[in-house]
Structure 1
C-alpha cells in the first residue's frame, strides 16, 4: 500500500515539500517583478516631475521679469526680453518632457553585445585590424579589409556586407558604422559645413560632450600636415572606446571622413595625458598641398594605413 503511494508521489513530481518551495519561489518572483515595475514607474514619475518643475521655474522667472518691466521703465526692454525667453523656455520644457527614460547602461549593454558579435565574425574571417571609414554620397561605410595592406573598394562594391569583388587587397567586410546617424544629427546642427579638419575638430569635441553626452570631456588636436585628427576623451558612456566601431570613435571617424570626403583610418590608443581615458586618432594620406603646410584638404583619393605610432592599436 505504501509502495503504491510512494509511486504516486513520484509520478506527481517528487516530495510535496519541493512543490511548496517551488510555489513559494514563484510567489517571490512575482512580488519582485511587481516591485520592479513599481520602481520603474516611480523613476519615470520622478523624472517627469523634475522636468515639469524646471518648466515652472522658467515660467515663474519669465512672469516676474515681465511684471518687473511694468514697474521699471528704464529696464523694460531687458526685462521684457528676459521674460519672453523665460516663458518660452518654460512652455517648451513642459511640452517636450520625455515620456520614456532609458538608462545609459541599457544602451551600453546592447551595444557591447552587438560589438562582441561582430568582432567574433571579424576574428573568424581572419580579417585585419584596420578600420577604414569610407564616405559615399549620402552615407558612409566601415570597411574592414582582409589584409593589412589594402586598397579601398569602389563605392558600389561596398553595398554588400562581404566585399569579394576586385583583387584580394580590396576584399573584406563592409558595414554601416554606428556613428553615421550621430554624424548626420551633428551636421544638422551646424550653420554651415566645416569644410576642413581644423574647423571641424573643436566642434566635434564639443558635440561629444554637450550635444550627445557621450563623454565627460573631450579635446581635439589637428595636424593637417601629417593628415591626422586626434580627440582625447574622458568619462566615456560606452566603454571601452577601443571596442569594435565604438559610437564615440565611430562618430569622430565618420564626421571627419564626410567632411574631408576621403577614407579615414581609425585607431584608438592610450593617451599620454592622464586626464583622458582614450585617444581617438583619425588618419589619412595628406595631399601635397597639406604636406607643404597649406592645411586645406583636397578630394584626392586617400591612402588607407594609419601612422606608424598608432598602427595596429585598436
Structure 2
C-alpha cells in the first residue's frame, strides 16, 4: 500500500510509505532547501575567498617590490614598475571577485533547452547538420557581429549579410535558404574581445589564444589543444572535460565560440563540425574550416 489516510484531531492527514505525514514531509523539504542554500553559499564563499587570496598575494608582491626599490636604488625603475603592477592587479582582482557563482550543471541544463530547440528546428524544417558562422550585423550590445546559418539545401551557398538579419532566410536563391541565429559563441566572443590583449599576428597565435580562453578565461573545458592548417584553411581543437556536457550538440558554446571568433577575426564564413574523440564521450574534436564552406 503506497498511501493511507488517518484521522488525527479531526484532520485528514496523508501518511506516506515512510510513515511521514504531510506536515513532516514539508519539514523535510524545508530542511533540504536550507541545506542546499547553505551549500551554495559555502561554495560561493569559497570562490570569493580564492579570489581574495589571489588579490592579497598581488598586494604583498606590490608592497615587497616597493620596499625593495627603496633598499636597492639602482633597480628602482624595474622594482617600482613591478610594485605598480602588483598593486593594480590586486585591486582589480579584489573588485572583480564574482558576487554570484553559477554551477556547471545549471549552465548545462540551460544550454540543453536551447540545444533541444535547435534540434527541433533542424528536424521540423528539414535542415542540414552543418553550421556556418558568418560575419554579419546582429544589432545587439551583448553579442559580437556573427550569425549562425543552418542551411536547408545540401548544396548550399552562404546568404548575404543583410539576409541573415531575419530568423528565416527565404531569399530568391533556394540554395541560400535556412535559418539564421545569434550563436551562443557570439556573447562569449564579445567578452573575449573586451579582455583580449594584443591582437594575434598569425592564425596559429590566434588559435592558441582561443584554446587558452576556453580553459582559463571561460573555464568551459579542462584542456584544449589547437592544430592549425593555415594553407588548407582549417583549425582543429581537441577538447577534454567539457563543463557543458557533450560538445557535439547543436551550437555548443565551446565550438560556437571558436567558430564565431574565427569568423570575426578572419572576416569570412567558417564552417564548424564537432565529433566525439572517444567512446566515453569525455573528449571531443572541433573542426573549423573557411574558404569554400558551401557544398
TM-score w.r.t. the length of structure 2 is: 0.81
User: 1:19-30 residue pairs with structure 2 within 5 A?
Assistant: 21-30=21-30
Contact kept in structure 1, 2:207 and 2:235, CA below 8 Å: yes
CA distance in 2 between partners of 1:87 and 1:195 (Å): 30
Which segment is superposed worse, 245-254 or 18-27?
A: 18-27
User: What is the CA distance between 1:158 and its match in structure 2?
Assistant: 1.6
Contact kept in structure 1, 2:13 and 2:21, CA below 8 Å: no
User: What is the CA distance between 1:75 and its match in structure 2?
Assistant: 4.8
User: Is 2:214 aligned against 1:224?
Assistant: no
Secondary structure of residue in 2 paired with 1:27? helix
Q: Which has the larger radius of gyration?
A: 1
Quick check: which one's strand share is greater? 2
What residue in structure 2 maps to residue 146 of structure 1?
A: 152
CA distance in 2 between partners of 1:233 and 1:120 (Å): 26
CA distance in 2 between partners of 1:262 and 1:170 (Å): 16
| Cα 1:175–1:13 shift into 2, 3 Å | farther
User: 1:72-83 residue pairs with structure 2 within 5 A?
Assistant: 72-73=72-73, 75-83=75-83
- What's the C-alpha RMSD, in Å, of the aligned pairs? 3.0
Cα offsets for 1:76-124 (capped at 9, x unmatched): 4444444333333333322222211222222122112211222122112
User: 1:147-226 residue pairs with structure 2 within 5 A?
Assistant: 147-190=153-196, 193-194=199-200, 197-226=203-232
User: Is 2:290 aligned against 1:304?
Assistant: no
| Cα 1:60–1:106 shift into 2, 3 Å | same
CA distance in 2 between partners of 1:61 and 1:224 (Å): 41
Which segment is superposed worse, 47-56 or 119-128?
A: 47-56
User: What is the CA distance between 1:142 and its match in structure 2?
Assistant: 0.9
What residue in structure 1 maps to residue 103 of structure 2?
A: 103
User: What is the CA distance between 1:267 and its match in structure 2?
Assistant: 1.2
Gaps of 5+ in 2: 1-6, 139-144
What residue in structure 1 maps to residue 4 of structure 2?
A: none
